[in-house]
Every structure is written in C-alpha cells, then in structure tokens.
Amino acid sequence: MIAHHKAKGLRAGQRRPAKELCSECGLCDTYYIHYVKESCAFITQQIESMEATVHGRSRDLAQERELYFGVHQEMVAAQKREPIPGAQWTGIVSSIAIAMLEQGWVEGVVCVQSQPSDHLAPRPVLARTREEILAARVNKPTLSPNLSVLEEVAASGMKRLLVIGVGCQIQALRAVEDKLGLEKLYVLGTPCVDNVTRAGLQKFLETTSRSPQTVVHYEFMQDFMVHFRHEDGSEELVPFFGLNTKELKEVFAPSCMSCFDYVNGLADLVVGYMGAPFGWQWLVVRNDTGREMLELVQDQLQVQPVSEAGDRRAAVQQGIGAYDRAVTLPMWLAWLIGFVVQKVGPKGLEYGRFSIDSHFVRNFLYLRRNHPQKVDSLVPEFAKKIVSQYRLPPQ
C-alpha cells in the first residue's frame, strides 16, 4: 500500500516532470506522481517491455501487421447496427462501456465529458451510470488529464474498473496498475495522433475551418479529408493536402510530436477507424480480456474482415519532403490530388500504415531536431524499424 498523501501545497497542473513534453495525462495531478519517473511515457518509454507484461509477449517485429498495429489476436471492421446519435463514429466505445457497467463487470468507467462552458474542452469523470457514459461520447480533441480521477477511484473503494483512454494515458496507467488496489482493470483504448492543447485547437480551427466557432466535432478520415461537423448539422470537408502546413507545424503539442504509441499498444481492446473502410470502425483485439469485452456487444454490431489495397510508400516518401519544406498547395490542386488519392491511394490497413509511417517519420525528425539526446530512449524499436524504410532529410 502506498502512502496516500498529496504533495503539500501543490495545485493541479503545477508539477510536470516531463516538462515541455508533458501530455497532461493527469497522473501528476494525483498522489501517483510518486511513480512518475518510471511511469511517464515521456520520461521512461517502455512500450515493448510492458506489452510483455500486459499481453504475455511483445509485438513480433518480423510480422508486418504486428510491427504496425501491435500485439493482437484479431482485427475486424465493425459498425453499430443502431449508431448512437452524437457519438464520434457509431458509438462502439460508449456501447461497450455501458454493457460492462450494466452487466456488473465494472463498478465505474473513467471517461471524458466536456466542460460545461466549452464543449471542446475535456472534463475527465468517473462515470457510474449509463447517462454519465453517454455524456462522455464524442472526442474532445485536446489533451485530457484522464488519470486525474485515479484518486477518486481509490477513495470510492471500487475494485473493478474500466478506463477509456489514449496511448500516453494508458502507458502511465499500466505502469501504476498494481498500485491501484483493483481486482480487475479493463482498458478500452482509442488510437491517437496530432493532439493539441485547447489554445492549439483554436489555432487549428481558425486556420482550417470556414466557421471555427460552430465546430462540434472533427476527424481526419480515410478519404484524405478533414471532416468538420457544425452546430447546424452541416458538414465541411477540407483536403489533407490543402492544410496550411507552415501555420500548423507549431500547433500540435510537443508530446504528440514525440509520441509513437499511435495504436495504443497496451490497451486490451482498441477501437479506432484508420484500418477500416470509410464509414466503418476498426477494432484490434489484443488479448483475452479484450476479446471478452468485444463479445459482450457482438450482437449490436455488424462486422466484416479487415482488408487492404494500394501501396503507401511513394506517397509517404513524397510527403516527407513536402512537410519539411512546409509546402502549402492552392486549394484547387489540393482537391484534385485528394480526389485522385481517394481513387487510387492506400485503403484499409494500408491507409493505417500510410498514416503511421507519415506520423512516425515526422515525429522522429522532430525529436532529432529538438531533443536529439532523447531519440534513443523515446523511440521504441518498432518505430525505429518503420522509420528506417524511408530516406530522411540530412541532419
């Protein structure tokens, strides 16, 4: 049992041992800050050894699917037969959480609602009812201190818990898992990339959307478009290739420019979209616990096998140079390229690899330029192998 005392005189947000690389995962807002040195994803990156602890083995780097998508038993594409209105996609994440709670598998769920004054700002909660879980549906596209509710979990005396979260939160959670006094922890992860602070989000919206103040939801989708949904229900599409690279280079949080856990390697079950056909969700079952979680909602889903088409490599290589020179294309050309790439570009799992390659190379170059002494420890072996497939600009 650890000594449950709060560091005296500290307010939330004051101590961040990872300094500028902190992703605000919330651990340091709790007394588990005692373990920050060995738990923080940006101080001690240990995805591969933790995979062995959590899943019984590390990912097999010789198998392309594991190299990219992590340890898994199965991947499928799925949709809810009856989507949850207002969910990010069809609401598979919220549905699993509700089923686990209502069938008595867990007593509470760590998830993220919105701040009452700002629907895009996160408010992590320990949900105990269906309504509280539903109120957390849809992405809050900003860094979110999910682990800040871990003290509330301990105080509640709960023994069975579900945590929903992104990679950096889950890495820190797994590192303190055996300190939480739980009988069973379930982890439902989402992929995550390019996250921002609330101020960064404002800049992104103002640079990219025609009406930044009315955006309720957005996603970078497999059709190479950013899809914005507005308050009046209208949808706005902006091609990836038309983004203002120069302005946006500074927008993403330094943590997210240094992150290689895009696919949330330590969750039991991952629910995203990027390895699935357009409109479908992409599910990665990592271990037996994840399989049980998915089986619980199987009758609410229609499912199809994952598939892949195209070859990402030339597009990734070309993108490296364009990003480096901060090229911004005129909108008509961006639409044209977007249209062509949609028709002939990478699809399904190959789209997933396109996105992973592009982000890992960008992040590797960011670390090499800004934190060269951290490249070795913060870049996991699988990411080094992925990046080594490409020609990089000279140092």
CA-based nearest residue to 374, from 13, 19, 61: 19
Nearer to ligand SF4, 27 or 101 (CB): 27
Site for ligand FAD (CB under 6 A): which residue of 21, 36, 92, 163? 92
Nearer to ligand FAD, 34 or 130 (CB): 130
| Shortest Å, Cβ 74 to ligand FAD | 17
Rule CB under 6 A: is residue 79 a binding residue for ligand FAD? Answer: no
Nearer to ligand FAD, 9 or 116 (CB): 116
| Shortest Å, Cβ 80 to ligand FAD | 8
Query: Which of the residues 216 through 235 are near ligand FAD (CB under 6 A)?
Result: 219
Rule CB under 6 A: is residue 272 a binding residue for ligand FAD? Answer: yes
Query: Which of the residues 182 through 201 are near ligand FAD (CB under 6 A)?
Result: 190-193, 195
Nearer to ligand FAD, 273 or 382 (CB): 273
The span from the CA of 395 to the CA of 392, in Å, is 8
Q: Count residues contacting ligand FAD (CB under 6 A)?
A: 35
Nearer to ligand SF4, 16 or 119 (CB): 16
Nearer to ligand FAD, 126 or 372 (CB): 126
Q: Which stretch binds ligand FAD (CB under 6 A): 68-76, 130-138, 223-231, 379-387?
A: 130-138
Rule CB under 6 A: is residue 273 a binding residue for ligand FAD? Answer: yes
Residues that bind ligand SF4 (CB under 6 A): 16-18, 22-25, 27-28, 36, 40, 42, 143, 166-168, 172, 192-193, 195, 255-256, 259, 261
